[in-house]
Amino acid sequence: MAKPKVATTSLCGCFGCHMSLLDIDDRILKLVELVDFDRSPINDIKKIEGQVDIGLIEGGCCNEENLAVLHEFRKHCKILISVGDCATNGGIPAMRNMVPLGECYEEAFLNGPTVVNPTGRIPDDPEIPLLLDKVYPCHEAVKIDYHLPGCPPSADTLWAALVALLEGREPELPYELLKYD
């Protein structure tokens, strides 16, 4: 029987959640035995190739590209998981939600202390994704099946959740795995 497929991506996150996934240490060998990876920064595949069993989303949605990727994941993944506080709540990037979008653009492209921009205009290059008016948690844009809190969720948390789902069980995480202080 073909191995279950897993895909991962980082939207508006810091890659800390992916680092945490790598922190499962030698269990990574077991993981590779258990699953095949579709699109993921781990293998640098840029587009989902087929049906995926479990998708892991790090980071919330701050721009049009994030949204497009999230849609791609939702369309292809049977189970979609928001991993970490950015994906579940918007997290640190959502601090910009207090600042009007115009000011964000101006700080980034016109007035910031390190900005050199002789055109004096906000760039309109299609390579630079348009920002959404606010940073949104993933479940506001698409239906999300599971939420794993933490910044980042610990390696043990990720491992426990993944293994349970791969074995067809509901993940039941003990208090220690969800407690952060």
Least distance (Å) from another protein to the CB of residue 174? 30
Least distance (Å) from ligand SF4 to the CB of residue 133? 20
The H or E element spanning position 81 is strand 77-83
Q: Which does 59 bind (CB under 5 to 8 A by kind): another protein, ligand SF4, none?
A: ligand SF4
Q: Which does 103 bind (CB under 5 to 8 A by kind): another protein, ligand SF4, none?
A: none
Least distance (Å) from ligand SF4 to the CB of residue 116? 28
Among residues 83, 57, 52, the alpha carbon closest in space to that of 148 is found at 83
Q: Which does 38 bind (CB under 5 to 8 A by kind): ligand SF4, another protein, none?
A: none
Nearer to ligand SF4 (CB atom), residue 53 or residue 149: 149
The residue from 47, 119, 143, 181 that contacts another protein (CB under 8 A) is: 143
The H or E element spanning position 75 is helix 64-76
As a whole number of angstroms, the distance between CA 175 and CA 20 comes to 19
CA geometry: angle 76, 55, 37, nearest 5 deg: 95
CB 131 within 8 A of CB 62: yes
The residue from 91, 136, 154, 162 that contacts ligand SF4 (CB under 6 A) is: 91
The residue from 23, 134, 151, 163 that contacts another protein (CB under 8 A) is: 134
Check whether the bond before 152 is cis (ω within 30° of 0): yes
CB 173 within 8 A of CB 112: no
As a whole number of angstroms, the distance between CA 79 and CA 4 comes to 12
Residues 37-76 within binding reach of another protein (CB under 8 A)? 64-65, 67-68, 71, 74-75
As a whole number of angstroms, the distance between CA 45 and CA 122 comes to 31
As a whole number of angstroms, the distance between CA 177 and CA 110 comes to 44
Task: By CB under 6 A, name the binding residues for ligand SF4.
Answer: 13-14, 16-17, 58-59, 84-86, 91-92, 151-152
Task: By CB under 8 A, name the binding residues for another protein.
Answer: 64-65, 67-68, 71, 74-75, 80, 101-102, 105, 122-124, 126, 129-134, 136, 139-143
